[in-house]
Every structure is written in C-alpha cells, then in structure tokens.
Structure 1
C-alpha cells in the first residue's frame, strides 16, 4: 500500500486501496466508471419509462420498483464517485465529515432497498394469493404509505448509526480496512468501547435486515403453497414468472449483505469481503435494470409503446 501512506498527515481517514498495482488501477477505473454510468442510465431509464407509461405508472409493483431503482442509484452514488476519485488521484484520504456522510447515505439507501424489496414481496403475495382483493389491499394510498415508511425508517436508523459511530475515538490508526466508510470497519479500528454500538447493530439489524428478509421468505412460502395447488402447469409457470425477477434481485442483495455484515466486528476483513462489498455496491445496482427489463414482458411492452408514440 506504499504509495498511499503519504496521505497519513491528513485530518481524516485513509481508505483501503482495492489494488496497489498500477495496471489494475486503470482497468478498475474503466470498469467502475462504465458500471456506474450504465447503472445510472439503466435505472433512470426504467424510472422514466414507468412515468411515461400509464399502464405501469398506476401498478403497485412498478410504483415500488421505481423507488427501488432510485434507492439503487442513491447507494451506488454514495460509494462509486469517491472510489473513482481515489483510483484517479492515487490519494486514499477522506475527511471525517466526508467519511460519515458517505456512511450515512450508504446505510440509508441500502436499508431503503431492504424495506422496498419486502414491500414488493408483499405485493406479489397479495396479487397471487388474494387476486380478487388486490386492488383494494394494494391501493395507491397504502402503497404510498409503505414507501414513505421505508424511506423514513431507513433515514432515521442511518442517522442513529452515524451519530453513534461519530462518537468513536481512533487512537492507533486511521487506516479504514475497507474501500469505503462503513460502520463495521470503523469499529475495527476504534479504541473506544464499541459494545453499545455492536448491541445496537445486532438489535436494529433485526429491524432493517432480518425482518424484511423474513417477510420476503414468508411471502414467497405462501405464494409457492398457493401456486402448487393450481392444477394447470401453464398457470403455475405464469404465476411464478411474475416473481422471478424479484427473487433474483433478493438473492443477489441479501446473500452479499449477510456475508459482509453478519460476522463479528473483530474478524479481520479479507479479500472475499471486498469482493462481496463490490457485488452489492456496484454489481447488483448495475444488474437490477437488466434483470427487470429482460425478464419482464410488461417493461418491454411499455418501451415499445413509448417508442411508437415518439415516432408519431
């Protein structure tokens, strides 16, 4: 990490270099910049498409999808621009304020993702298990309330984590063992008593990660139970096809999130943790638009309708 330690006089933190090899830094810069631009383009294009197509605009599933894609743009934007700056400038320094701002926005947007994924699972549960009551249960007012709660709870929890983390003392080193500021790496280098923060993480983790994940599991267990009772194979496949994109995104998001966060803070971060973090901060937001667009006939149909209107 030699060339990056020259920033040790800065009043802030030093982030961990993803790679110290110059030839890899160029490739990583190209990859992360390309991935970020494609993430912005793909996510915002689908958000725009939902706004332009009346069929999608008033559908609960796409209402939640719009918020999910905006949250994806938010949390990848909290990480990737700073990552590109460090790769291009060769300086791993980040100010105290910049570090905690990055942590706040990342946790807020990631938690929002978690709650919105649970909301989308509930939407599929009602649509498949109670189709006759779907319009009543998933009214626009209820969908709006669920989205507001998802954002509000996430912002409040993130503020709580960030305020407590900002009270930590760093006596020995300011070298954050991660390529961005997050709560677990900061606890590893703190000389303060981190038990209160660890306790909060474990208890609140039940709220912002475990509870949404459990709701998703229960929703899909009920969905599969109902679908398996349908005699027609074609109808089974049609019902399950509406859940395929969402399940893929849920697996990508939670598998990497659980790998990184559900481990002791004392555990030394390894290369696998870095790869997992890149997957959920860069790769998952990049793949989400393609997963929803390529596997969704309604999205493709809406795109064709919008393009036809633009021609006339």
Structure 2
C-alpha cells in the first residue's frame, strides 16, 4: 500500500497597494510622484483644480504637492491660498490615513542651523518672505495636530525630467543644450543642495507610509557650487561665462541625518549626472 502525503491547499495572498491621493498632480513633483506610486502598485487619485474632493472624502495617504513655484512673487493671494488655506482645510474637511505636506529647505535662509528643529527667520515686511511664511504657517498648523501621521517634508532643489526653465539649473541646462553656452548671473562660489527627482519621490513615498518622525529634510546633504557646474559643462564642450561682480547666493548645507538614518543616504551626485541631464534636454530641444 502506498501512502501519499497530501498538502493542504495554500491560501493565495495578493498584496494590494495602498490608496494615495496626490494634490498638485500636474506639477513637477506631483506628476512624478503619481507615476512612481503607480509603478509601485499603489492606487493613486491624482488631484488637480478640476477634481477637488468633496467634504468627508476618504483619501487614504495624502501627499500635498500643490503650491506656487517661481511665480509666487506675482501671485501673492495664490501663494497664500495654495500653500496655507487649502492644505489646512483638507485637514478639517476630509478623512485620511496619513497626510504629508511638501515644504521647502528655503525656510533655513538666515537660520543658525538646518536641523529640522531649528528656529527659523522670516520678515513680514519683506514680500519675498511670503513663500516662507505660508510654508511655515502650514507646518506649524499641521504639526500642532495631535496626529503622528501628519508629517512635513522640506525639499531642497529637485532636478531631472525637466519640462520648463522654472528653476536655476533647468535654465542653465536648456541654455547649454540650445545655445551651446551658459552665462551665469551669480558668483561662481554660489552653491545649493540638489536632489534628483527619482530619489525625491522615492523618499516621499516611504515617509508617507512608514516614517517614524513628523518632519524631515529631503535633500542630498551636500552643496554643489556654480563653479563646479560650470567646470563640468566646460568639459562637455559648453562655453561658460560669469557676470562680473555678480551677487553671491549661497545656501546652507542641509542636515539630512534624520532621513539618512531611517531611509539611507542619497548618494546620487549632480556633477556625475550632468552629462545625462544635458543629453535629455538636448533630445527634448530637438523634438
């Protein structure tokens, strides 16, 4: 007699993605985040001005990526509306599993430290500060909520997959691609922190789902000078010139210790990626 061992049928487990709602889904970061989340198998509702959710909506994990970019100086009321009024209304009027508000490392201008807990400096008499004031006001309101799932991500200068010239680096690369030359209107010693778009959206997704803290700097943690960019472009055959007696615009080095400890350091280097970025821009310019 032959005995056969019959195994019980195994239960088929299908891992379903999380529900996300991304506000500002047509924007530079929002659009890339939507694509990234869907690639990861998550269900994403992409929110624009045309499909704003109703009161009481169940939104899942919210990422608020809406706001003003380079045109905030020309649209003060729009800046206040998009960066402060709308996100705070969502907290009061909708239901969510978590809420991640995208802020900016611009807030550290004039601060003594770039740690997330540093005291910030703003000047209400300076219209330029409306960007920082509206971001900081939203941060304060959100972090005052007794809900550890409401978080803030302060982003540094995000680069890659450019569609316009709304940022310093994008304008530089488009000029290099289309004209073969770049004219810097700032001092060569000027510097900024840069983080690639793909790494940025990856970190945002992880913060929304698993973050242990409530506020993070999402940055490379290392400054790149305009001189370094110019030298690399020159190596790539681009003619480079600097304006004489140009202003120095140097931003502080961003402290990324909290993000690095929890999610790992971002090792991508802007200078190493410049050749690829330039080729991408050239391809778009020739379309």
- State the TM-score, normalizing by the size of structure 1: 0.24
Bigger RCO (CA 8 Å, 6+ sep)? 1
More helix by share: 1
Structure having the higher strand fraction is 2
Normalised TM-score (structure 2): 0.26
